[in-house]
Structure 1
Amino acid sequence: QTLGEIVRDPLLISEGHSRFDVVQGELAAAANLTLRDELFYRVVPPDQSFTDNYAGIFHFQFWQYGKWIDVVIDDRLPTSNGELMYMHSKDNREFWSALLEKAYAKLHGSYEALKGGTTSEALEDMTGGLTEFIDINEPPSNLMELMIRGVEMGSLFGCSIEADPYKWEARLSNGLIK
């Protein structure tokens, strides 16, 4: 459905952007973008809206092979029984996250392809930066120092737990809940 068919008076961004806006789909890294305006508006260019010269298309930028590339999509989003199927905003009139995920799915060939991706890959594609994987089962002795330094330098952090799809809210030996 087009956004105008989903909701009356859709908005790209309503009242700013926040990590709490997002009901996650396959693109968990998108919430991290909201923490830094310069990253958010690099990926979600601010020169587009539903009012000024609206043509039913949006563009997003991703870092690929050493340069920023533009991905253009239309305003149709997959729905089931009138509800968005993938990532969406808690505000039913705001669509930046759903459109961003659609553009990222287009970049990778399909929504299904996003299921095999990692937070690290998505962060690199959305920041142009480098990521480092740290296995928490074998952390470096200076992990806390590295994290504090990273925060001071404005680094973004993501984490994930390999979860058994048949167990929900299982407590791990380190106290984390998956």
Structure 2
Amino acid sequence: MAYGGGGFAISYPLAKALHIISWIVLFLTAICLLPLFIFTSPILTLLGQDESITEVARTICICSIPILFSYIVSNNCQTFLQSQSNNVIISFLAALSIIIHVSLSWLFTMQFKYGIPRAMISTILAYWIPNIGQLIFITCDWCPETWKGFSFLAFKDLWPASKLSISFGAMLS
């Protein structure tokens, strides 16, 4: 917002602090959700689900943990780039990701007949390739006006931003 508004909406340091707060809040949320991914099998067993289904669900959930953490990077990087009208890089990396994902999925499942864990590698890569590309784009001087690294200013407003995030999440659910 600060970039698009020419610095009039919010100052650049405040925009950077809000961006860092978002990283922290999403990371803490992912940590809170992590037990659901780790203990999927016992939870489903308690709910009376068939053992074969719980084992497949456990495998998928354990393999999905990197995807959970990729959302942190994805959400923040895409918001940051979109606020600066750098949508082309997002689109390019998404297209590259789809091509790699479809190719690896076909290779792992149809050609090599791998099971779910190895097939999930293509999904994990499909999430992380754009994230790594976006991080490189943001941190390597293509966004010089707004990105100057992490700042401890974010910790000053962490609690009010967390309360806002929690109340917003409660409204959505």
TM-score normalized by structure 2? 0.27
* Greater RCO (CA < 8 Å, at least 6 residues apart): 2
TM-score normalized by structure 1? 0.26
Q: Determine which structure has more spread, i.e. the larger CA radius of gyration.
A: 2
**Higher strand fraction: Structure 1 or Structure 2?**
1
